[in-house]
Amino acid sequence: MKDCNCIFCKIANGEIPSTTLYEDEDFRVILDLGPATRGHALLLPKNHFANLFELDDETAQKAILVAKKMAGKMKDALGADGFNLVQNNGEAAGQTVHHYHVHVVPRKNGDDVTMTFGSFPKPSDEEMTAIKDKIKENM
């Protein structure tokens, strides 16, 4: 299933040229045109899934395995000290293209790239328990 209006479907299926690092029957990994770091890549499924919640389990499992393989190859080739795997779902989370994708971002010690957490106020123990209970009742 592909979406003929989706730019990532077109890239993943070779209709739009890209700098491809890896390709198999289900995925294409390309260099990001607006990279956060040298070697920043996007893992794109060839089938269209708007977000994580639309992925079938088999594709989800394979996506993390391909991301792991790419991170290892890129670590060796680029001398990365670490990696961020970033996957956004929905506009509120920063998703700008509504085709599931994973950012594979090589990192170097001391680079100037920031991914900030901890700006939200620390919840009380009671709030933590209420959040946990709310989530567990929906499982």
Query: What are the catalytic residues?
Result: 101
Beta-carbon contacts of 50 under 8 Å, excluding residues fewer than 6 positions away, are 98, 99, 100
User: CA angle at residue 106 from 104 to 108, to 5 degrees?
Assistant: 160
The residue type of 34 is G
Beta-carbon contacts of 14 under 8 Å, excluding residues fewer than 6 positions away, are 28
